[in-house]
Chain A
Amino acid sequence: MYQIVKKRQLNQDVVLMEVKAPYVAAKAQAGQFIIFRVDEQGERVPLTVADYDRHAGTVTIIFQTVGNSTKELAELGEGDYIQDFVGPLGIASHFDGVKKACVIGGGVGCAIAYPQAKALFNMGVDVDLIAGFRNKDIVILEDEMKAVCNRFVLCTDDGSYGKKGFVTQALQELLDEGNRYDVVVAIGPIPMMKFVCEVTKPYNMKTMVSLNPIMIDGTGMCGGCRVTVGGEIKFACVDGPDFDGHQVDFDELMRRNSFYREQERSKECRLIGGKGE
């Protein structure tokens, strides 16, 4: 059992938790993820490591309440326990030789873009950070992100805060200004990552994306998380979750992620009445 030592609501749907998990905290690196299971009847759900404190033995996760399991997790408070918290899983991000980078976060994806930007910034890389949100009300981690980049661009789809428009427009502007990046890191909803890749492709600019397929074990034993990268089958949990965005079949990933949508909805309906036999 893993204790929640801190909980903070970042916006209406996004929650930050620090979880006591000394083994995970000792090894976690940017780009890796954990799998949690709320309780005995729970499912296994992956979440990216947003931060860690090796000394305190805690790992920070940031998640959006999008379904049954994240809602159950969000209902827990400081001092409560999570049944399982496995990690760190996946391969850590590698940024050897990078001098200038652009990190792009979309919505709750900023929770994952943030540790990547932080890792790069702490390596002395010149980091431009673009954070995109639907509107002002859901902006998260603004101060944290500002602190780990050289240039910060915040945009909202409706223009209610920061620049008006999508992250792809902000990226195009930076490119039009003559900025060239050794790597672009895009993390957010699948369509956003796909469109970022379309922007960088003509520049032949290396673009890393963090994929979020459906997972069960997270250790490479089932292939539920398989994605097609460069025409080959890869397991995101062991070969990723970071991949070269120009090689990823995003449309297939989107289709595969829709598989259990109906069951997810019916579980949510049942959740209102609590778990019954």
Chain B
Amino acid sequence: MPRNMSLTKVPMPAQDPNVRNKNFEEVTLGYTPEMAMEEAGRCLHCPKMPCVSGCPVNIKIPDFIAKVAEGDFKAAYEIISSTNSLPAISGRVCPQENQCEGKCVRGIKGEPVAIGRLERFVADWAMENLHEEVKKPAPNGHKVAIIGAGPSGLTCAGDLIKQGYDVTIFEAFHKAGGVLVYGIPEFRLPKAIVQKEIDKLVAMGVKIETDMVIGKVLSIDELFDMGYEAIFIGSGAGLPGFMGIPGEGLVGVYSANEFLTRINLMKAYKENYDTPIHRSRAVAVVGGGNVAMDAARCAKRLGAEHVYIVYRRSEAEMPARKEEIEHAKEEGIEFLLLTNPTKILGDEKGWVCGMECAKMELGEPDASGRRRPVKIEGSEFVLDVDAAIMALGTSPNPLIRSTTKGLEANKRGCLIADDTMKTTREGVYAGGDAVTGAATVILAMGAGKTAAQSMDRYIQEKNQ
């Protein structure tokens, strides 16, 4: 097979920034088969496979890339899906620069192999072209429950159903997917693709019970009484934080969770859906993570003239993916770095009419190793905005731990789990943001995978 020694990735086609910042359709358009085969030719097939060690769900990366290079996309898909149940999703939203691609040898001199784009290509190709009857695994007679239909719960369910377990997912919302459906916008992750991945799990036999708020409707103890032998908690970190500054109760101040849920889950931007959203003129988004970028880009698409990212550190410290920051800039999002809100201002009706901010400078490194922002006295200025979206991070919802005896959490409200995802309560496993606090989709998927192995081992040992 011809080796491609280009130092750069085969570019992926994308919508023009000034077109896409007015619609919710996917920004990047994916590789064609020719582009995928060309890019696959860049893989050196290193014997030590450092890329695989960077993948939380252990995809056999060089193996599938070899099949792509040959044009055997079906074989490539079989290799990926043997360890990863949701490749169309991870191929799109993984921070590959810190995972597989961060370890790629080609990245030492030039750009790494575009592993994420290739994974996405193969998954999309399979959705388009493979319509084989899903093989239902032979049942093993054991029941397991999964709380939360986000990336960790779906991955855990996918791995357990393949081993013959009777798997039921309990989801609080009316739709499965967790952050994949309410948080990450359509233009980064089309909801039809999420639904197709979920449909595959359902076709394999996974049962999904929506409208089930565990901790309210049923407790963990009641699930055990119903015959579930092991339980996985993948309830995420959905509790939004506010700054505690004056004016956060004004009309036009949202948590990013609220803003994104209205848009993504409730489709408030579509005329024929009932949930309303206010179209603001100028919006300040406070924060520097992926959620802040998503909220800002949604606000722009709703027609705001100015959308500001207000972030208290500099760009180098931003936790958002580089690609998302670049996309946001291309779409006209304005970045106010080393800037921190001190007060939200309201008009006589109690609506937001401005945000008072202070300029910051970077001081000594803090416990996280990042230089701590310090306010420059007297640097306050007023930003002209009529809406503010707080994207300050989230923490786990206390509903389950507060209603379950023996389930311990740390000071930040994160469930305590060991390396095998075992909690302090027998038979209960947990993973994803519920354990780590807000992190990434792929880490949640990795945790769901580990938990599935542990639950399998636990049930097998218990029944010996």
When the two chains form their complex, are residues B397 and A226 in contact, meaning their CB atoms are under 8 A apart?
no
Q: Is B32 an interface residue (CB 8 A)?
A: no
CB of A264 within 8 Å of the partner chain? yes
CA A41 – CA B275 in complex, angstroms? 8
Residue-wise, chain A 179-223 has the 8 Å CB interface mask toward B (1 for contact) of 000000000000000000000000000000000000011011111
- Residue from the list A83, A259, A263 in contact with B251, Cβ < 8 A: A259
Is A173's beta carbon under 8 Å from chain B? no
Interface membership of chain A positions 212-253, coded 1 if the CB is closer than 8 angstroms to chain B and 0 otherwise? 000011011111101110000100001000000000010110
B249 touches A219 (CB 8 A): no
Please tell me which stretch of B103-111, B265-273, B434-442 contacts chain A, meaning at least 4 of its Cβ atoms lie within 8 angstroms of it: B265-273
Say what secondary structure dominates the interface of chain A.
Answer: mixed
For chain B residues 243-266, which have a beta carbon within 8 Å of chain A? 244, 248-252, 254-255, 257-258, 261-262, 266
- Closest A residue to B209 by CB, please name it: A23
Is A89 interfacial (CB 8 A cutoff)? yes
Closest residue of chain B to A45 (Cβ to Cβ) is B274
Assuming the contacts A44-B266, A216-B261, A256-B251, asked whether A277 and B272 have C-beta atoms less than 8 A apart, the reply is yes
A89-B213, A219-B397, A277-B271 in contact; A83/B174 too (CB < 8 A)? Answer: yes
Cα separation A37 to B275 with both chains bound (whole Å): 10
Binds A, one of B51-59, B199-207, B234-242, B311-319: B234-242
CA distance A276 to B272 in the complex (A): 6
A41 touches B272 (CB 8 A): yes
Q: Which A-chain residue is minimally distant from B273 (CB atoms)?
A: A41
Q: Are B271 and A84 in contact (CB under 8 A)?
A: no
Q: Do residues B276 and A221 form an inter-chain contact, with CB atoms below 8 A? A: no
Choose from A85, A223, A252, A267 the contact partner of B242 (Cβ within 8 Å).
A223
* Pairwise interchain contact B239-A27, C-beta atoms closer than 8 A: no
Contacts A255-B349, A267-B274, A277-B271; is A221 near B397 (CB within 8 Å)?
yes
The complex places the Cα of A68 from the Cα of B275 at a distance, in Å, of 10
Q: At the interface, yes or no: A24 with Cβ under 8 Å from chain B?
A: yes
- B437 → chain A, closest Cβ, in Å? 14
Task: Enumerate A99-124 residues with CB–CB distance to B below 8 Å.
Answer: none
Q: Quick one: which of A24, A228, A275 contacts B217, CB cutoff 8 A?
A: A24
Which residues of B have CB within 8 Å of A69? 274
- Can you name 29 A-B residue pairings with CB atoms under 8 Å? A23-B212, A23-B217, A24-B217, A37-B174, A43-B273, A43-B274, A68-B274, A86-B174, A216-B261, A216-B262, A216-B266, A219-B172, A220-B238, A221-B238, A221-B240, A222-B255, A222-B257, A222-B258, A224-B255, A227-B249, A233-B249, A252-B350, A256-B251, A259-B252, A259-B278, A260-B276, A263-B276, A276-B272, A277-B271
A interface with B by C-beta (< 8 Å): 23-24, 27, 37, 41-44, 68-69, 83-89, 216-217, 219-224, 226-228, 233, 238, 249, 251-252, 255-256, 258-260, 263-264, 267, 275-277
Ordered nearest first, which 6 A-B pairs have the shortest CB separation?
A221-B238, A255-B350, A263-B276, A222-B258, A43-B274, A43-B275
- Which residues in B have some Cβ–Cβ distance to A below 8 Å? 172-174, 210-213, 216-218, 238-240, 242, 244, 248-252, 254-255, 257-258, 261-262, 266-267, 271-278, 349-351, 397, 399
